[in-house]
Structure 1
Amino acid sequence: MLEELSIRSLGPIRSAIIAPAAGMTAITGETGAGKSMLLSALSLISGGPADAKRVSPGADKAWAQGIFALSDTHADDGSDRDGADAEDALDAAAIARAAGVEPEDDELFLARTVPVSGRSRAVLGGKTVPRSVLAKVAARLVTIHGQAEQLRIASSARQREFLDRVAGDETELEAYRAAHRALADMDERLARLRSQESSARQRADYLRESIDRINEVDPHPGEIEELKAKRDRIENAAAIAEGVSHAIGALDPSQLESDSGSDAPGASDLILEAAQALRSIHAAGDFGALADRLESLNDDLGDILFDLTGQLGEDFGETDLDSLNARIHDLDELTRRWGPTVEDVVAWRDKAVFDIEDLDASPEKLAELEAERASLYRAALDAAGALSAARTAAAGELAERVTGELASLAMDGAALAIRVTPREGDAPLDANGGDDIEFLFTAYEGAPERPMGKSASGGELSRLMLALELSAADMRAEHDGGATADMTFIFDEVDAGVGGKTAVELGRRLARLAATSQVIVVTHLAQVASWADAQFVVTKEPPDADDDAVGVVTTVAEVRDEARVREVARMLSGSESEASLDHARELLEDSTL
């Protein structure tokens, strides 16, 4: 919902702030007062084209900002979806988050700056973003039905999106898209195998040869480090034996056969001798504790001596240094090609085993995939059929409702038909189903059906869009149990060529739509404006005599109570006579649902 629209230096509007009602808001004023600038501001923040000529005279830039309140669904939805139309399924908050903007207090700020020279600047939540991002966010928040904007519904894609929203076919649509994604993935896999058959065979041959080489060496995790450590000990065996023997001789010469006859004491003997000397002291002191420490130290030396003795007798068996080096060389070769570690080599081999399956474009493999593809295609066709059935049912109901509404909007004999035509041929499916959707409008009884947008005037098309939005809102409310929509609808020219009783019915229908959505209507009819929950008047002010550069200035102000009565009276008769004022009061009192 649009909470606030701010404008600066846009056309004749120097500064304006509008806080629309949650329901229906009417924008009124004399012809040429500048009501179109409000639509221009909304178009700008919706990512529309920027025109530097619309910057107010004497200003260096124009600026517009809209503050939108998000529903709980918008604010909390951080989901991510796959598929070709994943972005279409996202709401405004999700698109903003994808652009790095987090809504604050369940609100989004959309702003646009248009300088006199240079490029315009789009801002979302205080962060500069591409204009396309602003457009995508605004498309989830605002629908403008003006002379140019509403022609977008003439496109087949927009008509399909509109029908899907009305049909409430989210379950069928998601089921179809899942089936279509699976089919598309299989088609991509088959195309890759067929188009790259030669290179795939070469790749498969390389993988097989690599796997065979790795299996031939048969590496084991941690093996290369163990072998290199073993080689190092073998190559330094003499130095190790000499050093260990010397250490053993220093600790306990009796452990060495060459010193078996020597009477020289070792370190262990000397420590024990020192401990006994301390224990022989019978005077006061901590000599016993010191003796204990020496004996504990001797125990540690015993453990060290045991380990050294074991290493002195280490037996490498019949290990051949040449074969050991050859094994290390083979392992080094593997790690250079598929490493850097033996663990990486093993992981590469295991993955290559699976990769070969996809690269094997043998007739048997292709036949297997073709059969799987046929099964996926049948599933997609079934899902497309279910989706088409839901669309067809909704299309009939929507067309009937819209045709009924048109009769009350000064369009007797006008009718809407919605065709849901299943495609035929070799490739009937796309990412959105297997249907061609077409909205066909009959302008009057006996007139031919023509594509919507090519057979109606601007005012007729606006009323047709009102009938569409109103019928769609009624259908959604019935499907969703009366839930309200999050969209803000802007209507311009909807009252063109309308008057009298039809104008009252037009206002009534806009008010009905405002019961479930926010509606802003630019109108010159009192019978329409009287239904609004809030009314803003656009007024031209004469030029400032002290500033010739400014020229005509347009102001925008909300009118309430008697001020609103006077504005409605002006719209009725162009004057504020007692009769017109009484008529205005009566009209306002009667304009209730």
Structure 2
Amino acid sequence: MLEELEIRDLGPIRHALLTPASGMTAITGETGAGKSMLLSAIKLISGGSADSGRVSADAKAAWAQGVFAVDDDAASAQGASDGNDDGGTSSSGETGTSSISDPVHIARNAGIEPDDGELFLSRTVPVSGRSRAVVNGRSVPRAMLGELAGGLVTIHGQADQLRIAAPTRQREFLDAVAGDERELIDYRRAWDALRAIDDRLERVRNQEASARQQADYLRESIDRINRVDPQAGEDDDLKAKRSRIENAADIAQGVSAALAALDASQVDVDADAEGASELINRAAQSLRAIRADGDFSGLADRLESINTDLSDVVYSLSRELDAPDDMDDLDELNARIHELGELTRRWGPTLADVIAWRDKAVFDLEDLDASPEKVAELERDRERLFREAVAAADRLSDARASAAASLAATVTDELSSLAMDGAALRIRVTKRTGAGKTPTWPLDANGADDIAFLFTPYEGAPELPMGKSASGGELSRLMLALELSAADRHAGSRTPMTFIFDEVDAGVGGKTAVELGRRLARLARTAQVIVVTHLAQVASWADAQFVVTKEPPDADDDAVGVVTTVEQVRGDARVREIARMLSGSESEASLDHARELLSDSRLKG
């Protein structure tokens, strides 16, 4: 929801601050007063194109900022429940759907946290140079403003709403109203699996001579490594063992001499000479026998600790003398070390690298294996996945067709109350069948349906694609009817949006204008509505009203030129503005009519 819109130096608006109501807000004023600048500001913070020509005279840059309230807790819960994505059901802001990508999720993916449940979207447009987009104080690409605004605001102006004439937008709108997220997720998974196996089949079928040579090389290399059957670290262990064997005599001589010095009985059981261990033990006993003052006991403890370590050394050395003589295995060791060395030279530098290379080569070989058996196996898998994708597409088509009939009937009923008697909307969901030019026909990334919104503006008129059969005002009212129908179907569960309607009252007057205002107010029960209007019968339904006024240039400062102000009107000021809209004057009769209109413009129930 848009909590605040602030503008500086944009066209004739030097400064304006709007705080729209949470329900319905009307923006009124004389023709040419500058109401379009408010829409321009919203488009700027929505990632629209920047025009330096709209910077106010004598200003260095135009600036606009929108403060949006977001449901931080709901976004966190949604992220925890569905984990990764929305199954491809997100749509753009132009269609006003409830499955738009969550703006909090988008912001957090960019490393931006909401500030007390608010997102600040701002845009600076200098007289020369590039514009700058900022979200919560952090510079972002312009495209990110568009992504965020897509989940926050929807503009329905004559130019903006023509985008729903595109089949893609119509499909997205229908999917959002249908609530077919689960069917879409299931289909997208089946489609991705089908595309993956198609890619693999294509690689296998299109192998050239170099690929077959690579397969032969991998196969021979895997066989050679498997014959040797290396174990990680085996070569280091064998080299250490070979070193011991080659230096066995020196080792035996050195170990024997060391043992003779430490404990002669380990070498010769009849030896009379005392070893180091016995001498240290005798020294410790001598220190403990001293009765005089001094740290002799502590020194004895240290000697005994040394003797314990010395005993461990003696034990380890004595085991060295007991080691078996492996001289006969030296030739086998050298042969094995040489064999392992050949592997590490080609696929090393270590045996662990050799093993890893072999394991990867096994998988690479599967993709390079173009044998008839392999192709046949992949084709069988492909046929199974295709059938699964078709079944998922059928379920999606059924959900769309059901929603299309219901939505079209609801919209047609709404149109009759908006001065469009005889107008009708039909939503055609055509399931593609038969053979096509691609292996995946009749499927594509979005199912197996061709979707078209067909509009009849009046009874007897030909049924034509939406956008080709309606004027700007008719299209605005058709979009309002669509949004009302979508809101009714998702009441209580729909993510609150900000809808902006411009020119929705074109060609409307009298009772129809009252009904138009009533329906905008009804939409404002589930969403925030901002409407730019010249009809008092529409503005009277608003919870808040802002008047855009064009002020003449300051006589003391001709350089400033015309200045546009934006002020909220309340109480008597609002009555006077409604009276002006009704009759162009503030006569007592028009003021009474304005008060009556404001009193009557209230939703019942």
- TM-score norm. by structure 1 comes to 0.92
Q: Residues 341-371 of structure 1: CA distance to partner in whole angstroms, max 9, x if unpaired?
A: 3334334433433443333222122112211
2:459 corresponding residue in structure 1? 445
Instruction: Confirm or deny: 8 A CA contact 1:45 1:66 kept in the other structure.
Output: yes
CA separation in 1, counterparts of 2:510 and 2:293?
126
Deviation at 1:244, TM superposition (A): 2.1
1:28 corresponding residue in structure 2? 28
Q: Does 1:85 align with 2:88?
A: yes
Q: Does 1:468 align with 2:482?
A: yes
Q: Decide which of 179, 193, 202 is 1:182's aligned counterpart.
A: 193
1:47 corresponding residue in structure 2? 47
Q: Residues 406-430 of structure 1: CA distance to partner in whole angstroms, max 9, x if unpaired?
A: 2222222222221111123331111
Instruction: Confirm or deny: 8 A CA contact 1:75 1:106 kept in the other structure.
Output: no
1:218 corresponding residue in structure 2? 229
CA separation in 1, counterparts of 2:405 and 2:548?
41
Question: Would the alpha carbon gap of residues 537 and 216 (structure 1) be closer, same or farther in structure 2, given more than 3 Å must change?
Answer: same
Q: Residues 92-124 of structure 1: CA distance to partner in whole angstroms, max 9, x if unpaired?
A: 122222222222222211111111111112222
CA separation in 2, counterparts of 1:377 and 1:411?
45
CA separation in 1, counterparts of 2:12 and 2:301?
103
1:156 corresponding residue in structure 2? 167
Instruction: Confirm or deny: 8 A CA contact 1:95 1:137 kept in the other structure.
Output: yes
CA separation in 2, counterparts of 1:555 and 1:153?
33
Instruction: Confirm or deny: 8 A CA contact 1:494 1:523 kept in the other structure.
Output: yes
1:309 corresponding residue in structure 2? 318
Deviation at 1:281, TM superposition (A): 7.2
1:288-327 to 2 correspondences below 5 Å: 301-327=310-336
Deviation at 1:223, TM superposition (A): 1.7
Q: Residues 246-277 of structure 1: CA distance to partner in whole angstroms, max 9, x if unpaired?
A: 323323456556x978x765434544665676
CA separation in 1, counterparts of 2:447 and 2:288?
99
Q: Secondary structure at the match of 2:406?
A: helix
CA separation in 1, counterparts of 2:19 and 2:297?
95
Question: Would the alpha carbon gap of residues 220 and 575 (structure 1) be closer, same or farther in structure 2, given more than 3 Å must change?
Answer: same
Deviation at 1:513, TM superposition (A): 1.0
Q: Structure 2 counterpart of 1:161, which letter?
A: E
Q: Structure 1 counterpart of 2:454, which letter?
A: L
Q: Secondary structure at the match of 1:65?
A: strand
Q: Structure 1 counterpart of 2:550, which letter?
A: K
Deviates more, 1:438-447 or 1:144-153: 438-447
Give unmatched runs, 5+ long, in structure 1: none
Deviation at 1:288, TM superposition (A): 8.1
2:562 corresponding residue in structure 1? 552
Deviation at 1:23, TM superposition (A): 0.9
2:539 corresponding residue in structure 1? 529
Q: Structure 1 counterpart of 2:574, which letter?
A: R
Instruction: Confirm or deny: 8 A CA contact 1:193 1:200 kept in the other structure.
Output: no
Question: Would the alpha carbon gap of residues 215 and 406 (structure 1) be closer, same or farther in structure 2, given more than 3 Å must change?
Answer: same
Q: Does 1:360 align with 2:361?
A: no
Q: Does 1:416 align with 2:419?
A: no
Deviates more, 1:305-314 or 1:156-165: 305-314
Q: Residues 494-534 of structure 1: CA distance to partner in whole angstroms, max 9, x if unpaired?
A: 11111111111111111111111111000000000000011
Question: Would the alpha carbon gap of residues 579 and 222 (structure 1) be closer, same or farther in structure 2, given more than 3 Å must change?
Answer: same
Instruction: Confirm or deny: 8 A CA contact 1:200 1:360 kept in the other structure.
Output: no
Q: Residues 425-466 of structure 1: CA distance to partner in whole angstroms, max 9, x if unpaired?
A: 331111111111111112222211121112222111111111
Q: Residues 50-89 of structure 1: CA distance to partner in whole angstroms, max 9, x if unpaired?
A: 1111111111111111111113433544355369837656
1:244-263 to 2 correspondences below 5 Å: 244-253=255-264, 256=267
Q: Residues 296-339 of structure 1: CA distance to partner in whole angstroms, max 9, x if unpaired?
A: 75565454334323324533323454542332233233334434
Q: Structure 2 counterpart of 1:581, which letter?
A: L
Question: Would the alpha carbon gap of residues 455 and 231 (structure 1) be closer, same or farther in structure 2, given more than 3 Å must change?
Answer: same
1:583 corresponding residue in structure 2? 593
Deviation at 1:7, TM superposition (A): 0.6
Question: Would the alpha carbon gap of residues 199 and 517 (structure 1) be closer, same or farther in structure 2, given more than 3 Å must change?
Answer: farther
CA separation in 2, counterparts of 1:176 and 1:73?
26
Deviation at 1:545, TM superposition (A): 1.8
Deviation at 1:485, TM superposition (A): 3.8
Q: Structure 1 counterpart of 2:576, which letter?
A: R
1:492 corresponding residue in structure 2? 502
Question: Would the alpha carbon gap of residues 64 and 237 (structure 1) be closer, same or farther in structure 2, given more than 3 Å must change?
Answer: same
Q: Decide which of 331, 335, 338 is 1:329's aligned counterpart.
A: 338
Please provide the CA RMSD for this pair: 2.7
Question: Would the alpha carbon gap of residues 274 and 502 (structure 1) be closer, same or farther in structure 2, given more than 3 Å must change?
Answer: closer
CA separation in 2, counterparts of 1:165 and 1:377?
26
1:86-105 to 2 correspondences below 5 Å: 88=91, 90-105=101-116
Q: Secondary structure at the match of 1:119?
A: coil
Q: Decide which of 562, 569, 572 is 1:562's aligned counterpart.
A: 572
Question: Would the alpha carbon gap of residues 178 and 15 (structure 1) be closer, same or farther in structure 2, given more than 3 Å must change?
Answer: same
Deviates more, 1:143-152 or 1:88-97: 88-97
Q: Secondary structure at the match of 1:584?
A: helix
Q: Structure 2 counterpart of 1:81, which letter?
A: N
Q: Decide which of 363, 373, 389 is 1:380's aligned counterpart.
A: 389
Q: Secondary structure at the match of 1:176?
A: helix
Q: Structure 1 counterpart of 2:142, which letter?
A: R
Q: Secondary structure at the match of 1:104?
A: coil
Instruction: Confirm or deny: 8 A CA contact 2:86 2:185 kept in the other structure.
Output: no
Deviates more, 1:90-99 or 1:68-77: 68-77
Give unmatched runs, 5+ long, in structure 2: 92-99
Instruction: Confirm or deny: 8 A CA contact 1:62 1:114 kept in the other structure.
Output: yes
Q: Secondary structure at the match of 2:130?
A: coil
Question: Would the alpha carbon gap of residues 591 and 236 (structure 1) be closer, same or farther in structure 2, given more than 3 Å must change?
Answer: same
Q: Decide which of 350, 362, 370 is 1:341's aligned counterpart.
A: 350
Q: Does 1:517 align with 2:517?
A: no
Q: Residues 184-209 of structure 1: CA distance to partner in whole angstroms, max 9, x if unpaired?
A: 22212212222236454333322222
Deviates more, 1:263-272 or 1:5-14: 263-272
Question: Would the alpha carbon gap of residues 301 and 106 (structure 1) be closer, same or farther in structure 2, given more than 3 Å must change?
Answer: closer
CA separation in 1, counterparts of 2:66 and 2:159?
21
CA separation in 1, counterparts of 2:288 and 2:473?
119
Q: Secondary structure at the match of 1:418?
A: strand
Question: Would the alpha carbon gap of residues 522 and 278 (structure 1) be closer, same or farther in structure 2, given more than 3 Å must change?
Answer: closer
1:507 corresponding residue in structure 2? 517
Deviates more, 1:146-155 or 1:384-393: 384-393
Q: Structure 2 counterpart of 1:441, which letter?
A: F
CA separation in 2, counterparts of 1:352 and 1:429?
35
Q: Structure 2 counterpart of 1:451, which letter?
A: P
